[in-house]
Structure 1
């Protein structure tokens, strides 16, 4: 299991919330950052999560694919941010 998804599940985040979070991520990465903050993760665990993502961005792609979402939407959202 993807370590991001595993961490979220460890803290009682439902599959529906996880799917919603990654769906938001594929459409609007900035909104997803806000959504992550609203999940109620302890600050130290939130830092661990963000550290994992920063050190290994591939984890996001892996999680999106594991959840059956379209990673190309993440790439489209990233390109919109850089415009």
Structure 2
């Protein structure tokens, strides 16, 4: 299992909430950050998750694909943020 998904599940985040989070990520990455903050995950675990993402950015792609979502939307959102 993807380590990002494992951390979320470890904190009793439901599959529906995880899917919603990653759906939001594919549509609006900034909104996804706000959603993550509302999940009640302890700060140290959020830092661990962010460190994983920073060290291995492909984990986001792997998680999105594992959830059956369209990664091209993540790329489009990222490009929009960089403009």
For 2:72 and 2:29, how far apart are their aligned partners in 1? Answer: 13
Structure 1: gaps spanning 5 or more residues: none
1:79 aligns with 2:60: no
For structure 2, which runs of at least 5 residues remain unmatched after alignment? none
Look up the match of 1:35.
35
1:6 is matched with 6
Please give the TM-score of this superposition, normalised by the length of structure 1: 0.98
Length, aligned pairs only: 83
* Equivalent position of 2:18 in the other structure: 18
CA distance in 2, matches of 1:32, 1:51: 17
Query: What aligned pairs does 1:51-66 form with structure 2 within 5 A after superposition?
Result: 51-66=51-66
Measured after TM superposition, the shift of residue 82 of structure 1 is 1.1
Task: Give the CA RMSD over aligned residues.
Answer: 0.5
